[in-house]
Amino acid sequence: MIAPDLTVPIPDEIRAVHFIGIGGSGVSGLARMFLQAGIPVSGSDRAESQNTRDLAELGATVFIGHDAANLGDVDTVVYTGAIWPENPEFLAAKERGLSVLHRSQALKYLIDGRRLVSVAGAHGKTTSAGMIVTALAGLGTDPSFVNGGVIQQFGASSRAGSDDLFVIEADESDGTFLIYDTSVALITNVDADHLDHYGTHEAFDDAFVTFADAAREAVVISADDEGARRVGARLRHERVITFGESADADLRIEFDAEGAADLVWQGERVALRLAVPGRHNVVNAAGAVAVLVALGHEFAGAVRALEGFAGTVRRFELHGVRRGVSVYDDYAHHPTEVRAALEAARTVVGGGRVIALHQPHTYSRTKLMAGEFAHVLEEFADHSVVLDVYGAREDPIPGVTGELVERGFEDPAHVSYVPDWQAAAERAAEVAQDGDFIVTLGCGNVYQIIPQVLDALQREE
């Protein structure tokens, strides 16, 4: 993993750019934006994917595999923390004296002084940013955006709009969210999931305080999340808008006995009816509406515009139904996110059951949180099938496998540790009955098991 070097100056003009890891969810969106700006784009990745194919169709030169020769005659190279320091393209770019920018710096180059909405927080960033962008379009504006996931209404994770507004998912994991000149900051929560970078909870909180107080116009922050309340108490900003179920929230959520929600702002009450399920999405929606109000939009109109949000790819996304079993995919890779995804499934599964197909993400997180994952999976899923760890940028840690999660279950009858993907797909299909949901969970490549799951269900039928 490479720590971002933010001391590297961002050039005034980029004439041709190469992306290392161009197929990644965030980097592919950046590459698309550079293409839309008329800047020649090349890039490389370890394997072909839909993102690499799409970018090639748009005009990017895409290489499969990393090689110094791939750089050609570019003047700028963009990298992420997911690559290794020994990457041959990264080393060659340094040796040639090219501008070597972290992806956050490339994004800052694109923003170029526009009115910026930055969404930060351990959970809910992608959905919240997608909600803001969708609602802004419904309100007649045309914002630019770069998001961590594909927004269903646009069929893309990024787009260059004609208005002055720019909406981004700002990454707090490595501190790069501090480099942007933000107008409205949204903090969904402050859950210290990146202490490998910050070292202490106090340093993590300090970064959020700096991020929020630097916002030019307003700060929108959760009134319910413990970490957000801790940060909020330290803010000196002149305009802070809180949202949530707390009685002291400025924009308050009120649920009725059936789970339907109203939003209340300055005495005005509006019913919220979302197309996406889950209590957590109501909370995300409240934060998005608060941002729209901070931008100057009328409250009721903002709520109505947001109700058209159809979701983002890999956020409780339905992939198919076989013999009455619905197969969904969700990006959840932290215990809080897993709980939210499974609770959302429960709100729509009716009398059916929820079967989780969980892929732990990174060895360090699995070692630290295996017990928390087990507790959440056992409480909110009827049965869990656990795969092995998706290591991402990390080297394996001896003894850290998906079996650690299995061992954390109090009742072993509720969990199956199945490292072989075909066997795991067959196990999930074996457990599932008519009316059940199977939900794949993880931000690695677990979604690629879905065809095997659908096929196993089909064969059993």
Q: Which of 108, 135, 160 is the last residue of a domain?
A: 108
Helices (H), 59-200: 88-96, 103-111, 125-138, 195-198
Is 426 contained in some domain?
yes
Strands 144-151 and 156-159: antiparallel
Q: Is 94 a catalytic residue?
A: no
Domain boundary among 262, 280, 306: 306
- 307 assigned to active site: no
Distances (CA, A) of 165 to 146, 160, 168, 216: 12, 10, 10, 14
| Same domain, residue pair 281 and 326 | no
Q: Taking a C-beta distance cutoff of 8 angstroms, is the pair 241, 220 a contact? A: yes
pLDDT of residue 49: 87
The continuous run of DSSP H or E covering 289 comes out as: helix 279-294
Q: Looking at the structure, tell me whether residues 333 and 203 fall in a common domain.
A: no
Separation CA 244–CA 287 (nearest Å) = 8
Q: Give me the CATH number covering residue 181.
A: 3.40.1190.10
Same domain, residue pair 81 and 152? no
Total domain count, the chain? 3
6 part of a folded domain? no
303 and 252 Cβ atoms separated by less than 8 Å: no
Round to whole Å and give the CA distance between 221 and 91.
Answer: 40
Query: Which residues have C-beta within 8 Å of that of residue 296, sequence separation ≥ 6?
Result: none
Which of 126, 312, 336, 401 is labelled catalytic? 126
Q: For residue 118, which amino acid is it?
A: S
52 among known catalytic residues = no
Q: How far apart are CA 391 and CA 363, in angstroms?
A: 6
In DSSP terms, 322 is beta-bridged to 325
CA-to-CA distance for 359 and 357, rounded, in angstroms?
7
Those residues with Cβ within 8 angstroms of residue 40's Cβ, 6 or more apart along the chain or in another chain: 15, 16, 17, 61, 74
Query: Does 335 map to a domain?
Result: yes
* 45 and 21 Cβ atoms separated by less than 8 Å: yes
Instruction: Provide the pLDDT for residue 192.
Output: 67
CA distances to 20, 225, 237, 252, 260 from 246, rounded to whole Å, are 44, 10, 21, 7, 17
Catalytic residue among 125, 172, 362, 440: 125
Cα gap 388→396, rounded to integer Å? 11
What is the widest separation between alpha-carbon atoms in the chain? 64
35/130 same-domain check: no
| pLDDT confidence of residue 139 | 96
**Angstrom distance (rounded) from CA 198 to CA 381:** 33
Does 98 share its domain with 128?
A: no
**43 phi, psi to nearest 5 deg:** -175, 165
130 and 276 share one domain: yes
Are both 167 and 229 inside the same structural domain? yes
Tell me, yes or no, whether 8 lies in a domain: no
CATH at 327: 3.90.190.20
State the pLDDT at residue 257.
79
Residues 241 and 354 in one domain: no
Per-residue pLDDT of the chain (461 residues; tens, 9 = 90+): 677 788 899 999 999 999 999 998 789 999 999 999 999 999 999 888 888 999 999 999 999 999 999 999 999 999 987 788 899 999 999 999 999 999 999 999 999 999 999 999 988 888 999 999 999 999 999 999 998 888 888 888 899 999 999 999 998 877 889 999 999 999 999 986 655 656 687 888 999 999 999 999 999 999 999 999 999 999 999 999 999 999 999 999 999 877 789 999 999 999 999 988 788 889 999 999 999 999 999 999 999 999 888 777 677 788 899 989 999 998 888 898 899 889 888 888 888 999 999 999 989 889 989 999 999 999 999 999 999 999 887 889 999 999 999 999 999 999 999 999 999 999 999 999 999 999 999 988 899 999 999 999 998 66
Q: Are residues 152 and 222 in the same domain?
A: yes
pTM to 2 decimal places:
0.80
Q: What pLDDT is attached to residue 24?
A: 84
In 3D space, the residue among 68, 61, 75, 74 whose CA is nearest the CA of residue 89 turns out to be 68
Angle at 58 between CA 80 and CA 24, to 5 degrees: 25
Give me the count of residues in the chain.
Answer: 461
At 348, the amino acid letter reads: V
Domain assignment present for residue 413? The answer is: yes
What is the residue type of 352? G
Domain that holds residue 192: 113-306
103 and 117 assigned to the same domain:
no
**CATH at residue 103:** 3.40.50.720
6 half-sphere exposure, CB direction, 13 A CA radius: 12
372 vs 349: CA distance, rounded Å: 24
Do 172 and 245 belong to one domain? yes
212 occurs within a structural domain: yes
**Of the candidates 213, 249, 211, 201, which has an alpha carbon nearest to the alpha carbon of residue 229?**
249
Per-residue pLDDT at 194: 57
The single residue of 169, 172, 378, 406 carrying the catalytic annotation is 169
Cβ neighbours for 104, distance < 8 A, ≥ 6 positions apart: 4, 6, 171, 176, 177, 179, 180
* Same domain (yes/no): 249, 333: no
Question: Is residue 11 in some structural domain?
Answer: no
In single-letter form, the type of residue at position 224 comes to D
Closest C-alpha among 321, 14, 308, 274 to residue 137: 308
In a domain, 185, yes or no: yes
What is the rounded CA–CA span in Å between residue 156 and residue 172? 23
Phi/psi of residue 264, nearest 5 degrees: -125, 125
Q: Mark which of 306, 337, 359 sits at the end of a domain.
A: 306
